Structures are given as C-alpha cells and as structure tokens.
Structure 1
Amino acid sequence: MQFHPSFSRAGLLALAVAAGDAQAAEWRGLLDVRAVAADAPRSFLDGGLGKTRSEDGLQLGQAVLRGDADLSDTISGTLELSADDRHNGVVDVREAWLGWSPLPTGAWKTRVKVGQFFAPSSVEIDYDGIGWTPKRTISSSAINSWIGEELRTNGVEWSGRRLGRHAGARYDVGLVAAVFNGNDPTGTLLAWRGWSISDRIAGRNEALRLADLPVYRADGDIPRQSRTIHPFRELDGRLGYYVGANFNLGARLELAALRYDNRADPLVVKNGQYAWRTRFDHLSMVLRPGGGWEVLAQAMRGDTLMGNNAVSLDFQSWYALLSHPVGPGTLAARYDRFSTSEHDALPGDPNNETGHCLALAYSLPLTDALSLITEALRISSERAARTLIGERRAQRERSVTVALRRRF
C-alpha cells in the first residue's frame, strides 16, 4: 500500500473547491501578534542550538486560516493554511483531510480520516480551535513542540468511541489506529538539535535548517546528510503506524496511550535525507477535580536510529501543567523535563542532552474574539554539541512574551 505524492496536492485542491461550494462550509482564522523580550542564545531557527524561537521585538506569532466543510451527511473536509516568514514560500499547509463519520447504530461512534493531519497526541492543544494552538500558554511543552515540527500523519486513521450514555456506563472508551508514510526523516531534529520549547508548527513543504555541526559537513562522518531537513518526505516506501486507546470519565478524567512507529529503513538515504527509524510510547492525562482546577500531564519515551548505528539515541520527556481561574482570566504553570541519551558509533558527534523548563502564563479574554496572553519562560539545558559551533555547553534562556490573539 502506497500513498502517491500527488495525493495530498489533489486532495487539497478538491477540499478547497468543495469547501467553497458546500453550503455548510465554515471558514475561521487566527492572527497572533506578539512582543518579546528575551535573554537567550542563538535560536534553533537561526543556526544555533538554543531552545526557543524567541527574538526581541514585535513578531507575527501565527496567522492561520481553517476551512471545515460538510460535504454530505457523513463526509466532511478540513483544510488549514498558515503564514510565516520562516516557512518555505511563506504560506504552507498544516492539515488537509477528508473525514467519514457513518451514522452510529449502537454505542460505538466511528470516523475515518484520509489525508494529512496530526496524530491525537496532545492534551495542551485546543482540538476544537484553530492552528493546533495551546489553550493555556503561548509555548507548547517539549513533547508537543517536537510533534508540531516533525510529526504529521499522511495516510488513513480509524477511530472509534464507545459512548457510555448509550451503554449504561459512566465512562467512554476509545480506540485509534493509523497507517501512514511521508515521515521518514522524523528523529533528525531530536538527534542533532534536541528538544525545543516553542509554538512553531511546520508546514507540509517545510525545510528546517540545522546548526553547522561537523558531522554532516562535506569532510564529516556523514557527508550524504544535508544540513536542510525535510521532515515529511517519503524515502523507503514502507508504511508506519500508530495505535492507541483512551478513557474518559465524563469531563473529570481523561487518560490516553499511543504507540508510534514509522518503521523507516535507517540505511536508506535520498537527496540528502536519511530515513530514521523512530518509535515511541506516549501517555497523557487530564484531571479536572472541580473548582476550576485543571491538571494536565504527558510523558513520552522512545528511540531513533539512522544508518548502521551512525546515530542512535533514546529520548524522553514529560511535563505537568496546572491551571486555575484567577480574576477575569486563567493562570497556568507548566514544568518540563527532557533528555536524549546516545549509544552510537560516532563519539565525535555528541547528542546527549538534559534540560528543564518552567512556564508561567496568564490568559485574559478581552472580547469573544480577542484575548491577551502573557508568558514567562525559564529554560536550563546542557548539550555537549554546542561547543562544536562555539557556544556554551550549558545555557540558560529567559523570555517574556505578550501575545494578542484575534479569532475570526
């Protein structure tokens, strides 16, 4: 089974035409303008090994347009575009998919998605919102920052949920399974850049520039690897998969687990891109004990391999987030820990990393469509590879960001 490269382009065109003609089409948008004051080393977006995208001054955080169309009683389509001066071509596609939700005949409700979309792996994100944007903070956790940049499903997903109210139970249970291609370079960023803390979401045609490390220079140990990464390319013709399960006790408790494996052949390299065999296990929890309190937690543990043990490492991260209404807005605090541990054949290419981050955010609704969010970040991390490009091994980064978000 193979997904042709023209599939997404044709599907995108069909979605755009259908969304324009369908009576039930709904177009929504998000514009995020922000001011940043940062005390941070060179960003990973500028060839450094810093953990944030922060730069002092006024910035365009996000500009997103999303179209949702009901094409029939059971078929819908979604198209999401984003604009960013860091994208290839400025405007890019985040998601483009068709969904089929047959009318339920019992307690089970099912859906099939076909196209390009995010795996159901984040509890920070507002899935009913726009732009895969965190609800309570400006930045995402390390886990979801990586997912936003380097993971995207290009394939078919089936999901089913057994609704407790139709089965005499107080809880819902769900299952999800998908097969996909086009995510073979996944793992490159974790190995050679490490974790990040940001809200940057990669587009389908994204090209990410790595730091100028010696290992993939022309005279380095892996000269066939390009310094520019295209995370959503298909290289080996093999399908990856993910499977998961979830449990909901009303709105009070949500639990989920996911197993991801891109099944890439680590010996394949095409046009400067290696395939990385990347797999991980993921757990998440949302607890709402009452009184407006929310507790969110996610944990991830996995490994990635490229070449004949040329680059091989384990990676792990977790975070906990606590939020509560304070005055007219909501206060949130998040604590992250993240690390990578290498065990490969190239000692001159150090990829070990440890770090932690504290984020404090306050979101204030101004109108139904306008909100103001303030966030302070403090990140400490240690990475030996920084010394190879003239940076300090241990770095501390601080930033304060004020974002004005307009939804339309």
Structure 2
Amino acid sequence: MKLTTPTMMLMLALAVTAANAQAVEWRGLLDLRAVDSDAGRSFLDSGLAKTRYDENSPRLSIGQAVLRGDADLLDSVSASVELSADQQHRGVVDVREAFISWNPVPEGAWKTRVRAGFFFAPTSVEIDYDSVGWVPKHTISSSAINSWIGEELRTNGVEWSARRLGRYSGAPYDVGFVVAAYTGNDPTGTLLAWRGWSISDRIAGRNDTLKLADLPVYRPPDGRLLRQSRDIHPFRELDGKLGYYAGANLNFGTRLELAALHYDNLTDPTVVKDGQYGWRTRFDHVSAVWRPQGQWELALQAMRGDTLMGRNGVGLDFQSWFALLSHPLGPGTAAVRYDRFSTTEHDNIPSDPNNEVGYGVALAYDWPLAESWSLMTEALLVRSERSARVLIGEAALQKERSLTLSLRWKF
C-alpha cells in the first residue's frame, strides 16, 4: 500500500499518540447487504451503468466495514483515524480519514476549529456526521452529488472553521465560515468526464483506484490520449499547487440550516504524470435543511461546476441537484429522494462524447431493531442517457432498478 510521506507521518503520529492518550473511543460499522438488481455492467466492472450493483453482482455481500478511533491528546487537541474494508476496493483495507483537530476553548461567541490531515470537506446535508463511515442518514445510496464527493474529493491539507453562536449575543441564528487549502485532488473530474455521475454508496479510500471503461479515446494504438491510464487514482498530487475551498453557513436553531461553498483545485490541466492527467475542477455548492413541525425534514442540495483537461482536450460543465424528504413512520423512518444530474461537453474531441442526462428516485425505510442494530431497505430507480455507452457496446439509454436490504451493526 503506497502512501505519501506526509500521510505516513500522520498515521504514525496518530498511532503513537493514541496509544498514550488519556481517552480513546473506538466505534465501528458493519453493513451486510442483500441486493437484487437488473442494471447493466456496473462502473465497478468497467461499465457505464450508474449504480454500484448490477445483475451479475453477488446477492449477498459486505457493503462496508468501518473502524474509527478518536483520541483526546490534549485538552483541546484530538486525533481521528477511520479505516474501511470492502472487497470492491483495491487492497481491501484502506484509510478514509486521518486527521488531527485543534478546538481551542471559545472566548465569547466565537468557536473555532483547525483540522490537518486527510478528511471529508463539509459538503453534504444527507450524511450522518455523528456516525462513522460517512453514510447517509435515511437511505442506503447517496445522491449523485455525494456519491461523486465520496469517490473523487477529499481534503488532504488544512481546514479552518469558525462559528458565531447566537445564544451568546442574543441573535436567533448561528453563522459560520470555513476555508481550506489542500493538495492531492488533481485528477478530480476524471470520473465525471469519462464515467459520469453515479448513484451509489461507494466511498474511495486514500489509496483506492477505479478502472475506467475501455473507451477509444485512450485505447491503444489509435487513441487521442494514450498517456491516460484506465486506472484512476483520485487523490494524486501532480503539479505541486495548492487548491482551496471556502464557504459559509447560517443556522436558525435546528429549524433551518443554509450553507454554500466554492471549491477550486487550481490544477494545471496540461500536466500528465504516471498515467494521470491534471483536471482543473471547480464548483459552487448550496444546500438547505428545513425541519417544520411534525418531525418532517426536507434536505435540498445543488451543485454546478466545470472541469478541464489539457488545452480543452476534454472539457465539460456539470450540474446536479436533489431533494430528500423524510418523516418517522411506525417504528422507523421513511424517506424519498429525487435526483437530477447532467454533463455538457465543450471540448476539441468530438469522437469522445461525454454528454449525459438522467434522474434517480430512491424510496427507503430505516427500522431500528435494537440499540446497535438496524435494518434499512431501499428501492432505487435510475434512468440515464449517455451516448459514450455505444462505444463499448452498451445502449445509450439505460434504466436501472434495484432493491437492497442493509443490516447494520454499529458498535
């Protein structure tokens, strides 16, 4: 398992300090799956279908296994590491997050935090941040937006955030800001261009790879981009430049939560290294969570951006949004999510079509069985049209249906 020097040093520091920490909390998640799907060849098998499971996937499998350790090092300093295991990932066991946090004692209304390491950016309203594994709260699959974030985006750097608590100043709201500088997201955009959006719960690890479909544009001997490897390493650093994101959020108690974030990896799109092209990828993201009376919850999230590789060798705009409505029903919680997604190309290789349009509908029910056990079921429909599928012998228009049962043990 190949790790960069900073990552190895961070993991070593976490292991050594955690062993001597005053308080260490270990948590985990084991997710057992039963799946019935009629989808064509999954993107995990070098196809261009949108879902993790297809008609040839095993009916029973381990969806994911996650172990997380949180250690209090000092009064205001903590360390966290999260490991995952999945037979659909390279190397099986990998690192999802590993970082150190500094949470100084607040002075007045402002509360600040600094994180350094490898971690998820604060970009999702459907993920359960109080749990482990970066999993959705009410569904099994993630939306198209958060499926992509889970596969191609990770902060490998430093993040500063601050929140002004309204209760200290008599204001009816809290306001927050976040800014980060990072490396290692230079290939981000590769999957959106040549695979497109997905709706799944696959989360990439630090050293993960994904094999692209066998498209003619990088297929020997006549492809236009022969330096491109089919094996994608999403968290590689190629040009030595820092990227950044910056955002703000506004919360009116738990009733209404608003957030916005701008992301730009500032990558040099002309760089090619070890079979990976640099992709200049940037996007704007907005979200809202509204909780009216009656325990209803409505989560909305939208993203619009663009990505460019080479001197307009491959370039496209991308858009996606979703709405998720949930409410307690019987002993559990029912949820419905509607997704829309698309990509629009504007590049110099017409023989490499990367346009697509599609939507997805997920119906889910989460049933707590015991203190640490739950059973979740999800019916998923995804309809998408992508002309590049014809180049590998697939139909441009595909409908994918699946029914998934997830038995989860949290410990």
What range describes the TM-score normalised by the shorter chain of this pair? over 0.9
Whether the aligned pair in 2 keeps the contact of 1:62 and 1:82 (CA below 8 Å) is yes
User: Secondary structure, in 3 states, of the residue corresponding to 2:390?
Assistant: helix
What corresponds to 1:47 in structure 2? 46
After superposition, give the CA deviation of every residue in 1:118-137 in whole Å (9 maximum; x if it has no partner): 00000110111100010100
> C-alpha distance in 1, partners of 2:86/2:342?
29
Residue 69 of structure 1 pairs with residue 68 of structure 2: no
> Match of 1:49, as an amino acid?
L
> Match of 1:15, as an amino acid?
L
> C-alpha distance in 2, partners of 1:21/1:40?
49
> C-alpha distance in 1, partners of 2:358/2:316?
16
Instruction: Say which of 179, 184, 187 aligns to 2:186.
Output: 184
Aligned-pair Cα RMSD in Å: 0.8
Whether the aligned pair in 2 keeps the contact of 1:77 and 1:98 (CA below 8 Å) is yes
Q: Which moved more, 1:213-222 or 1:171-180?
A: 213-222
User: How far off its partner does 1:18 sit?
Assistant: 1.8
Residue 255 of structure 1 pairs with residue 258 of structure 2: yes
> C-alpha distance in 1, partners of 2:298/2:18?
37
Instruction: Say which of 137, 141, 144 aligns to 2:143.
Output: 141
> C-alpha distance in 2, partners of 1:300/1:127?
20
Q: Which moved more, 1:82-91 or 1:95-104?
A: 82-91
Whether the aligned pair in 2 keeps the contact of 1:107 and 1:162 (CA below 8 Å) is yes
User: Secondary structure, in 3 states, of the residue corresponding to 1:386?
Assistant: helix
Equivalences for 1:212-291 in 2 at 5 Å?
A: 212-218=214-220, 219-291=222-294
User: How far off its partner does 1:246 sit?
Assistant: 0.1
User: How far off its partner does 1:56 sit?
Assistant: 4.6
Instruction: Say which of 88, 98, 123 aligns to 1:96.
Output: 98
Whether the aligned pair in 2 keeps the contact of 1:252 and 1:289 (CA below 8 Å) is yes
User: How far off its partner does 1:401 sit?
Assistant: 0.2
What corresponds to 1:305 in structure 2? 308
What corresponds to 1:161 in structure 2? 163
After superposition, give the CA deviation of every residue in 1:80-117 in whole Å (9 maximum; x if it has no partner): 00001122211000000000011111100000000000
> C-alpha distance in 1, partners of 2:375/2:75?
37
- Figure out how many residues of one structure are paired with residues of the other and give that number: 405
Instruction: Say which of 194, 197, 208 aligns to 2:196.
Output: 194
Q: Which moved more, 1:270-279 or 1:81-90?
A: 81-90
User: How far off its partner does 1:367 sit?
Assistant: 0.7
> Match of 1:167, as an amino acid?
S
What corresponds to 2:6 in structure 1? 7
What corresponds to 2:26 in structure 1? 27
Whether the aligned pair in 2 keeps the contact of 1:38 and 1:56 (CA below 8 Å) is no
Whether the aligned pair in 2 keeps the contact of 1:81 and 1:95 (CA below 8 Å) is yes
> C-alpha distance in 1, partners of 2:218/2:20?
49
> C-alpha distance in 2, partners of 1:82/1:324?
30
* Identity between Structure 1 and Structure 2 (%): 70
Q: Which moved more, 1:26-35 or 1:80-89?
A: 80-89
Instruction: Say which of 197, 204, 212 aligns to 1:210.
Output: 212
> Match of 1:52, as an amino acid?
T
Moved over 2 A (4+): none
> Match of 2:169, as an amino acid?
A
User: How far off its partner does 1:17 sit?
Assistant: 2.2
> C-alpha distance in 2, partners of 1:69/1:298?
32
User: Secondary structure, in 3 states, of the residue corresponding to 1:17?
Assistant: helix
What corresponds to 2:354 in structure 1? 351
User: How far off its partner does 1:258 sit?
Assistant: 0.2
5+ residue gaps in structure 1? Answer: none
After superposition, give the CA deviation of every residue in 1:65-90 in whole Å (9 maximum; x if it has no partner): 00001101110001000001122211
Whether the aligned pair in 2 keeps the contact of 1:83 and 1:91 (CA below 8 Å) is yes
What corresponds to 1:129 in structure 2? 131
User: Secondary structure, in 3 states, of the residue corresponding to 1:289?
Assistant: coil
> C-alpha distance in 2, partners of 1:164/1:122?
23
Instruction: Say which of 384, 388, 392 aligns to 1:389.
Output: 392
Instruction: Say which of 343, 361, 366 aligns to 1:363.
Output: 366
User: Secondary structure, in 3 states, of the residue corresponding to 1:290?
Assistant: coil
> C-alpha distance in 2, partners of 1:16/1:51?
38
> C-alpha distance in 2, partners of 1:21/1:92?
24
User: How far off its partner does 1:20 sit?
Assistant: 2.6
User: Secondary structure, in 3 states, of the residue corresponding to 2:365?
Assistant: strand
> C-alpha distance in 1, partners of 2:159/2:382?
36
> Match of 1:213, as an amino acid?
L
> C-alpha distance in 2, partners of 1:151/1:202?
9
> C-alpha distance in 1, partners of 2:50/2:97?
25
User: Secondary structure, in 3 states, of the residue corresponding to 1:127?
Assistant: coil
> Match of 1:353, as an amino acid?
E
> Match of 2:372, as an amino acid?
A
User: Secondary structure, in 3 states, of the residue corresponding to 2:239?
Assistant: coil
5+ residue gaps in structure 2? Answer: none
